[in-house]
Structures are given as C-alpha cells and as structure tokens.
Amino acid sequence: MRAFETLVGLGVVLSVAGCTRGAPPAPEGIDATVSPLPGPTTADTSSVIDAATAAIADAGAPRATAALVDAGDPGSLPQTRDRPAASSPALDARAATLWDAIVHDDPERALPFFFPVSAYEQVKAIHSPASDWRRRLVAAYKRDIHGLHERLGNKAASAKLVRLDVPDERARWVEPDEEYNKLGYWRVYGTHIVYEADGKERTLDISSLISWRGEWYVVHLTGFK
C-alpha cells in the first residue's frame, strides 16, 4: 500500500509548451512509419527517480506496475496536441518501471511505459492495429528488454538508474497521414537511460518515444522493427 501511495503521489501537472514544425529529419536508416514525441527542459529528477525506484523495490514490481496501470487507461480519452515535458514525475515513474524490468529481466514490469494499445488503435490507420501492437511492437519491446538485461550482465544487481534524458530539441509534431496515422502526435528519437555502474555514468538508448495526451511513451526501444 505504501508503494501505491508513493506512486500516486508522483502524479504530474505537465507544462504545455508551444508546438514547433520542421524538426530534424529521422536519423539515417530509420524507418519512421510507426512513432510519436517529447517536450520541455530537463530538471534534476534524481529524487523523483529514487522515490519511484524505492517504491518499486519496496512493494515488488508487479504491485508497483499495477499501481501505475490502475490509475486508468489513457487511451480511453482522446488525443491532444499537448507537447510532453522532457522531465516530469509521471515520466520518471514510468522510466523507473522500464529500468526495473531491465534489471530483473522481466518485461511485464515495463508495460506502463509502453504506448497504450487503446491509444494505438486510435492513432494508426492500418488493418488490425491491436494485433500489430501486440505481435510486432510489444514483442520487440520484450525482446529488447531481455537484450538490455544481458548487456548489463553482472552489473545488473548493482547498477543504479540516474535519469532519463529526452532530447527535447528533436521533438516534432507528426501530422495525420504522415506515418499511416489517423491522428497527429509528438515524436522524438534518441532518448537515453542514464545509469551508474562501477562509479561511472553509462547510457542505454531508447530509439523512439511517441506522445499521447501530453505524455511520453516508448514505441521502439532498440531499433525499429
């Protein structure tokens, strides 16, 4: 119960910034047909991340994850053009679930940070978006989490999450029909999970985040599959 209260206490009021057009093109070799985007300037989020990570560790990841999911399905509400913040308590809490999943080699713990299927069904103008979400995107997400756990190796138990770096300057609003999408969304490439191991800061890459109602979610973790 303590963990639930802690995570609920991480509820956020996102700042809304003006939208910009004409951001940098996708990195070379990237298929940009499935993705959205980020927001404002980064603040010191270490205390928020520590609180979220501590809550997860204290309660056990399954209960902590459930607390985030039980807050409600964001995909039950319509999309907005709100630009996501590059840092917020809610984003940091979701990032902590991804880190927890990587450390424990348990992808289910990271589902609160993945773009909701109910939102994906509203966004994508493709046949059976829910099936595409489950069989392609989530399957790749889970494989990538297993791969990142292997990359940490024997450092997994001692490594510590420091922060999530979202490159706000690369955020771009994607108009309807640009990427087989019925609705627009924000998209950003090149977010980094910054962690500490052996006294040094290291990074893990997140290929693409996309927005729903002014919040960032992972849609491609490692590469574009």
Domain ranges of the chain: 2-220
Nearest C-alpha neighbor of 42 from the set 218, 163, 185:
163
Specify the range with the lowest mean pLDDT, choosing from 22-31, 86-95, 129-138. 22-31
- Which of the pair, 87 or 24, is modelled with greater confidence? 87
Residue entry with tokens 């500490």: 196
Q: Enter the DSSP assignment of 114.
A: B
66-69: long-range contacts at Cβ-Cβ below 8 A with a sequence spacing of 24 or more? 67/3, 67/4, 67/7, 67/8, 68/7, 68/93, 68/94, 68/97, 68/112, 69/111, 69/112
CB within 8 Å of 127: residues ≥ 6 apart = none
In degrees rounded to 5, what are phi and psi of residue 73? -90, 110
pLDDT in tens, 129-167: 999 999 999 999 999 999 999 999 999 999 999 999 999
Contact 78, 173 (CB under 8 A): no
Nearest C-alpha neighbor of 217 from the set 33, 75, 49, 42:
75
Nearest C-alpha neighbor of 42 from the set 216, 183, 221:
216
C-alpha to C-alpha distance for 6 and 63, rounded to whole angstroms: 12
Counting runs of H as helices and runs of E as strands, what totals does the chain give? 7, 5
190 — pLDDT class (breaks 50, 70, 90): very high
- Which of the pair, 223 or 38, is modelled with greater confidence? 223
